[in-house]
Amino acid sequence: MKRHWPAVAAVTIYWTATAVLLGQSLRLNDGHLIYPLDDAYVHMAIARNVALHHVWGVVRDGFSSSTSSPLWTLMLALTYFVLGVGAAAPLVINFVAGSLIVVTIGHFMRAQSAGAPLTFAVLLAAIFIAPLPTLTLAGMEHTLHALVTVWFAFTAASLLASNRPATKRDLAMAGLLSALAVGLRYEGMFAVGVAALLFMLTRRWAAAGVVAAAGTAPVVAYGLWSMMHGWYFFPNSVLLKGQVPSLDLKAILAFAAGSPALHNLVGNPHMLLIVVAALALLLVATTAPVWNEDVFLLTILIGTSLLHMQLARAGWFYRYEAYLLVLGAAVFGVIAANRLPSFRTWARGSAVLPRLAGVATLFVVAGFPFVSRGVNALRTAPTAASNIYRQQYQVGLFLDRFYTGRSVAVNDIGAVAYLADVKLFDIFGLASLEIAQLKRAGRYESRELAASALRHDTEIAIVYPSWLGEYGGVPAGWTKVGEWGVADNVVLGENAVSFYAVKADQRPRLVENLRRFAPGLPGAVRQAGEYTK
């Protein structure tokens, strides 16, 4: 038991921190389990419709390609089919995945004969720089994706460093983890692509083929299925949120030169430090004539990080790059265990105190972005959940009560789709193909939005006006009758969401419905507009 105490203690700390955040969230949200991101409810809505109506869509009317995490959504759907639809499923799955992350990294550290203090420190870093408690409460696929990415990276590095040919079991495991990583999040293609390239460079053709084919399979299968339903090959979330350059020469050249990656690294210093530290260690580790497992791990970490910074988003509620932070903690921890004897020899040399002081200063300075990020993520998680509860969640309850079966326009679709059985017109475009087509064609503007809303027989709109600013503003024919605001916004698109009557004859009804619903709103919701008079 002594050799396992770091993992046991770390898991206990992770459970305790998660429980504390959950307790704070429940207290702020009148005892309701609320996830701090509306996106979590997008997966839950699709999963519910799959389980209950056998429709892969945000609403049960038909197919929609609104998720770039199809495997996560499928897992939720299977859970709902077996156990029934419930809000706790994402939390439970994340809780198990977070615990397995700690156990897995602890196992890798023990395999390197790492001392208990070092192992415990690495596990705490993995827990609190991601941080796992916040990811767990987010109710999305990021915790499980981080776990699978760690498994995949270490499996690939072990195969790359091995002197023996890969067995069928090795190939099957590498292929399975490739498919899981990409199926859970399309960003999994970054790690899979780097590993496949390394397998090719080391002439391990079978492994390269298996990893590349298995990693590509979820994207191709989902893409073809989506196209069969008349949607795009890639999910709308990828097409509308990904970092794709415009088609002018200057933008293409800047993209090819790595401008997005540089911009993202500068804006996210924790990721810049990971890449710089990994590059520095890579220079030290490659002094040997033969590449070892450490070198391959560092190369996978660097390559995946740079690809993510170039092609994907970072920074939004601490989640997009969280898997890289977990992977970084695991890789740096294992390498520290391997290099500790060399460090001890170096530390015993002349001028030991200045050397140790320099190392300590470096750790403090370099660690600040990680500590700051972790503290902020833990601090804001309950408040973010409260934001969702007081705005999107209440919108969902409002629509469920007064607009069942009717067409409504919104820009945040998750909680609305999960809580209310409405005909959804998504003005952002994740769940409405017509809007996505307008955006991609460069024709999305106020008049087109108004015409499209009328074609969908939309009665009311509940939106953030600023989101439409660059497209000509809120359509002139829409009449604002009220808004709900929050004072401590940390995650919402705007402090207040506004209610509009899209059709003039719907204005009296919307005013009356808002008045009837108002007494049930949480006290912290700031109400304003015509219906309050």
- pLDDT tens per residue, range 29-55: 999 999 999 999 999 999 999 999 999
Q: Is the peptide bond before 131 cis (omega within 30 degrees of 0)?
A: yes
CA distance 355 to 338: 20
pLDDT higher than threshold 70 for residue 94: yes
Q: How much is the pLDDT for 317?
A: 82
**Per residue, what are the HEC states of 364-431?**
HHHHHHHHHHHHHHHHHHHHHHHHHHHCHHHHHHHHHHHCCCCEEEECCCHHHHHHCCCEEEECCCCC
Q: Contact 219/328 with Cβ under 8 angstroms? A: no
CA distance 87 to 355: 52
pLDDT higher than threshold 50 for residue 114: yes
Q: What is the average per-residue pLDDT within 248-261?
A: 75
Q: How much is the pLDDT for 359?
A: 52
CA distance 240 to 27: 35
Indicate the DSSP class of residue 506. Answer: G
Is the Cα torsion angle 25, 94, 301, 260 positive or negative in sign? negative
Per-residue model confidence as pLDDT tens digits over 302-312: 999 999 999 88
> Which residue's structure tokens are 């993992």?
7
* pLDDT band with cut points at 50, 70 and 90 for residue 372: confident
Strands 460-463 and 423-426: unpaired
Q: How much is the pLDDT for 286?
A: 62
Contacting residues for 149 by C-beta, under 8 A, at least 6 apart: 181, 188, 191, 304, 323, 326, 327
pLDDT higher than threshold 70 for residue 2: no
| Longest Cα–Cα distance in the chain | 85
Indicate the DSSP class of residue 207. Answer: H
Per-residue model confidence as pLDDT tens digits over 507-517: 999 999 999 99
Q: Contact 67/43 with Cβ under 8 angstroms? A: yes
Q: How much is the pLDDT for 254?
A: 73
Q: Domains of the chain: which residue ranges?
A: 2-372, 391-532
pLDDT higher than threshold 90 for residue 527: yes
Q: How much is the pLDDT for 288?
A: 55
